[in-house]
């Protein structure tokens, strides 16, 4: 048996062991019991530790057996005599000492993100299938940059790409997806493709003008993505194909700043600013579209922005929206952006559309039934109530959130991170393209595109920004997807727990009575907005204190006490994150929250900045109502202690 097949079988064995004999429930069947989901986590006290160690030991033994089975007639490279030598004993002793130091440093300086006391950044307990899958594949040291560097894991990466394509609503026969180091790199790759494709019609005009006869530069720069891909299809087998590619922006045939504006929401991830710099687009060509009071992209403002550019005959390189912003968890209204693109397409204005769903992409599993169909709003809400036990009062999802997720397949590409709401180890971001024909704009080696279409072995490195990339990340995602399907019965259950918890936290904070700290002053929670997903931003406000500066100072002090900034993390009663809203990023949008806190407009003018505590509710351990109620009572008591300690 060759190395690739052996590696693949080892991972498959582990997936089967985890999956057991259970069959995922389909829509209409009885709900699976909660214990099955619990079995996939190590737990706050290592409750499944024995099983974890058993599976880890099994996979390590499989790896050792794999080595032994490769030409067993060959002699040992390391002799028993050498292993028994004093020097070898000393070396092992030294390693034990170093590993002990490593463990101490990791435990002392790492966030206890496995505990529900940690409600901070986008980290939580990891799925055991993903962890074991990663650790098992890591020993095979596969490199997915070229097929020969990791045959088994390259196949898994391509499979994961298609699994994510189905999750996002793309046709897997036409789509392409690959794993990246993270959302930043995925966004880079999407913009890289969008930039090069935007310049392609101009390159065709320079080399084969007969194919775009009658189209001036303005019309070529506004060519819709589908037409650009059709044009790419026409020339892919031409002997002048490589010459055309050399006339695109990648061949310096086109100035990237000539390709138009990049429209992003104010809530964008900072990776977009980085990407504009790296790809020569320039920060001056980024337009930040305002967000509304719910921190979603303001679609009317987007329409006005596009109309203004059209009037000035300035092309639009791409529009980017966010499905789960990193600061607020907000879901931009994808469906309305799609409608805008269609409106302008009828006027001859085309542009690339990308969705940054690095955080919120996996939530789409909550909208997909066991057969793979996207459910109606009524069905999704019924599932939320009956299977995930999200309260009817939460009205989750809001109609706009549902419509946004339904319209995802209309985008040209999507960023989605397995290492966020996929609950597998870093590094594992991903980008998925709706139409794999776009790959042909990214390489001078046309033969590889032909190989891809024939489903022959593919060297992924020809199409991505990264060089060497771990096959272990692909194995982790692949394994997790085998035991937790990308639908309402799999990941939907897990994410349903977190959205339920987030809504309970929001409601508890919004309805909680003000409490008195030991300093005799009274305080209250003020949540930012009702969560679209599972992120809750909030502040603690001293009742009767009208100062925004004072409120910021109080919440900064709370953050300092409830984060890595001070003290031993393992002794923290509660750990959270923070973010700051200022005019530079959000204009005057935060003024609505300032008013919600009972502060006057003058305070915003005097102190134009709001510091909020930010809790990403990824923990699967707080979905029980009674446990959550007890948890929130403890949280209030913790805040009383913290406020007293920081002198709030």
Q: Is residue 52 part of a domain?
A: no
- Identify the active-site residue in 147, 352, 448, 538: 448
Clarify whether residues 309 and 207 are in a common domain.
Answer: yes
Residue 430 domain boundaries: 174-467
Regarding whether 419 and 334 lie in a shared domain, the answer is yes
- Count Cα neighbours of 127 within 13 Å in the Cβ-side half-sphere: 31
Residue 26: inside a domain, yes or no?
A: no
By DSSP bridging, strand 352-356 and strand 413-415 are parallel
- Same domain assignment for residues 193 and 284: yes
* Tally of structural domains, the chain: 2
Whether residue 453 is found in the same domain as residue 571: no
CA-to-CA separations, 282 to 255, 257, 258, 261, 349, in angstroms, rounded: 11, 7, 11, 9, 22
* Domain annotation covers residue 18: no
In a domain, 75, yes or no: no
CA-closest candidate to residue 22, choices 620, 622, 493: 493
Tell whether 297 and 394 lie within a shared domain: yes
In a domain? residue 89: no
- CA-angle at 493, arms to 498 and 56, nearest 5°: 95
For residue 186, being part of any structural domain is answered with yes
Per-residue pLDDT band for 5 (boundaries 50, 70, 90) equals low
Q: Which of 428, 451, 467 is the last residue of a domain?
A: 467
Mean pLDDT of 246-271: 88
Same domain (yes/no): 446, 502:
no
Whether residue 194 is found in the same domain as residue 312: yes
Nearest to 558 by CA among 614, 500, 510, 499: 614
Calpha distance 210→524 (Å, rounded):
69
Q: What strands, in cross-sheet order, belong to the sheet with 535-542?
A: 118-119, 575-581, 610-616, 535-542, 522-527, 515-516
Q: Which residues contact 35 (CB under 8 A, 6 or more apart)?
A: none
Residue 454 pLDDT greater than 60, yes or no: no
Closest CA to 597 of 648, 530, 542: 542
pTM for the structure as a whole: 0.93
pLDDT digits (tens, 9 = 90+) for 398-434: 999 999 999 999 999 999 999 999 999 999 999 999 9
Q: Is residue 147 part of a domain?
A: no
Instruction: Check whether residue 592 and residue 505 sit in a common domain.
Output: yes
CATH number, domain with residue 578: 3.90.1150.10
Residues 459 and 506 reside in one and the same domain: no
Q: Work out the percent of the chain whose per-residue pLDDT is above 70.
A: 92
Asked if 396 and 432 sit in the same domain, the reply is yes
Domain CATH code at residue 401: 3.40.640.10
Residue 33: per-residue pLDDT: 52
Residues 463 and 533 both lie in one domain: no
Average pLDDT, the chain: 91
| pLDDT(147) > 60 | yes
- Whether 27 shows a pLDDT value over 50: the answer reads no
Q: What is the mean pLDDT of residues 172-191?
A: 94
Reported as a pLDDT band with limits 50, 70 and 90, residue 26 is very low
| 57: enclosing H helix or E strand | helix 49-69
Q: Assess whether 448 carries a catalytic annotation.
A: yes
Give the pLDDT of residue 23.
Answer: 34
Dihedral through CA 551, CA 556, CA 561, CA 566, nearest 10? -160
């Amino acid at each position: 048996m060759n190395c690739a097949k052996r590696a693949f079988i080892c991972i498959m064995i582990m997936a089967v062991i985890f999956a057991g004999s259970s069959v995922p429930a389909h829509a209409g069947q009885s709900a699976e019991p909660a214990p099955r989901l619990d079995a996939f986590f190590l737990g706050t006290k290592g409750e499944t530790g024995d099983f974890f160690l058993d599976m880890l030991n099994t996979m390590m033994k499989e790896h050792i057996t794999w080595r032994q089975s490769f030409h067993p007639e060959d002699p040992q490279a390391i002799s028993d005599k050498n292993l028994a030598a004093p020097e070898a004993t000393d070396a092992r002793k030294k390693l034990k000492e170093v590993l002990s130091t490593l463990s101490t440093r990791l435990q002392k300086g790492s966030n206890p993100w496995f505990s529900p006391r940690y409600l901070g950044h986008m980290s939580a307990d990891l799925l055991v299938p993903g962890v074991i899958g990663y650790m098992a594949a890591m020993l095979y040291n596969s490199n997915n940059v070229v097929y020969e560097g990791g045959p088994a894991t390259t196949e898994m990466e391509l499979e994961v790409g298609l699994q994510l394509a189905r999750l996002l609503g793309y046709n897997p026969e036409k789509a392409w997806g690959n794993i990246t180091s993270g959302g930043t790199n995925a966004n880079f790759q999407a913009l890289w493709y969008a930039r090069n494709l935007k310049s392609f019609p101009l390159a065709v005009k320079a080399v084969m003008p007969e194919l775009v006869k009658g189209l001036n530069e303005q019309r070529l720069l506004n060519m819709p993505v589908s037409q650009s891909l059709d044009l790419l299809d026409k020339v892919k087998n031409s002997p002048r194909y490589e010459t055309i590619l050399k006339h695109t922006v990648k061949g310096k045939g086109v100035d990237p700043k000539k390709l138009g504006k990049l429209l992003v929401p104010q809530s964008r991830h900072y990776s977009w600013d980085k990407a504009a710099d790296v790809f020569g687009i320039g920060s001056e060509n980024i337009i930040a579209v305002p967000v509304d009071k719910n921190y979603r992209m303001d679609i009317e403002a987007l329409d006005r922005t596009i109309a203004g550019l059209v009037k000035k005959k300035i092309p639009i390189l791409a529009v980017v929206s966010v499905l789960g912003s990193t600061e607020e968890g907000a879901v931009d209204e994808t469906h309305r952006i799609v409608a805008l693109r269609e409106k302008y397409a009828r006027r001859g204005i085309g542009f690339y559309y990308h969705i940054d769903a690095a955080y919120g992409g996996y939530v789409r599993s909550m909208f997909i039934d066991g057969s793979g169909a996207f459910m109606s709003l009524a069905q999704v809400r019924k599932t939320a109530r009956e299977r995930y036990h999200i309260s009817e009062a939460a009205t989750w999802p809001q109609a706009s959130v549902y419509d946004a997720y339904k319209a995802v397949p209309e985008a040209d590409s999507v960023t989605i991170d397995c290492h966020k709401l996929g609950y597998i180890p870093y590094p594992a971001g991903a980008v998925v393209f709706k139409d794999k024909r776009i790959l042909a704009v990214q390489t001078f080696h046309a033969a590889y595109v032909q190989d891809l279409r024939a489903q022959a072995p593919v060297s992924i490195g020809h199409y991505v920004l990264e060089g060497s990339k771990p096959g272990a990340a692909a194995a982790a995602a692949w394994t997790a997807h085998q035991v937790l399907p990308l639908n309402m019965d799999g990941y939907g259950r897990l994410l349903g727990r977190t959205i339920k918890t987030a809504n309970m936290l929001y409601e508890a904070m919004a309805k909680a009575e003000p409490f008195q700290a030991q300093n005799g002053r009274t305080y209250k929670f003020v949540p930012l907005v009702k969560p679209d997903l599972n992120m809750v931003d909030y502040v603690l406000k001293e009742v009767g204190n009208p100062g925004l500066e004072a409120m910021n100072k109080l919440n900064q002090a709370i953050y300092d006490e409830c984060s890595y900034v001070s003290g031993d993390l393992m002794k923290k009663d509660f750990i959270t994150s923070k973010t700051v809203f200022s005019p530079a990023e959000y204009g005057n949008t935060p003024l609505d929250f300032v008013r919600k806190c009972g502060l006057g407009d003058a305070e915003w003018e005097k102190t134009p900045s709001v510091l909020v505590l930010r809790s990403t509710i990824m923990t699967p351990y707080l979905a029980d109502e009674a446990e959550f109620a007890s948890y929130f009572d403890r949280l209030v008591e913790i805040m009383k202690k913290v406020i007293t300690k920081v002198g709030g």
